[in-house]
Structure 1
């Protein structure tokens, strides 16, 4: 987890380390690490399954955050530069 990231520097991150925002941040950092790993090891299918599970967990957390606190959801997706949820 980079120390100079915007969510790590925010005062709420240190207070609420188990919060939805920090969980999404940690999952996003794992996704970034795994995508870098796949550039070298494209046929690592067991790690691909782990990536899919991480993405599913992050999607569920983002959906929950969207329902409960829309402004935090919008701020977090813009800070982490991740796509927003599709509207059904």
Structure 2
């Protein structure tokens, strides 16, 4: 049920054409992050899942940093669509 609500953000045609795009990768990482956080709320001592979550968060952060450098408009649109926080700037 939860998965279907997030997948509806991308139409079937967009998924088939642009699986390698930065937006789709961030979208799929966000789905994985939401699934893992709900899992970790039940299983607090699952340290391997915590490690996997940190790795996925790092990958998503790097992709978002890349996208913000390349196209600020696409970055802002993606942040708004997925309802995630903006990157911290140093």
What's the TM-score, normalizing by structure 2?
0.87
> Deviation per CA, 1:29-86, whole angstroms, max 9, x where unpaired?
0000000101110110111000000000000000000000110100000100001101
| Partners of 2:55 and 2:62 in 1: CA distance | 11
- Structure 1 counterpart SS, 2:4: coil
Classify 1:11/1:74 alpha carbon distance in 2 versus 1 (closer, same or farther; 3 Å).
Answer: farther
Corresponding residue of 2:20? 18
How do 1:8-87 residues align onto structure 2 when only pairs under 5 Å count? Answer: 8-9=10-11, 12-87=14-89
- Runs (5+) with no aligned partner, structure 2: none
Classify 1:10/1:72 alpha carbon distance in 2 versus 1 (closer, same or farther; 3 Å).
Answer: farther
- Runs (5+) with no aligned partner, structure 1: none
Moved over 6 A (4+): none
1:10 Cα deviation after fit: 7.7
Q: What is the aligned residue count?
A: 87
RMSD over aligned Cα atoms = 1.7
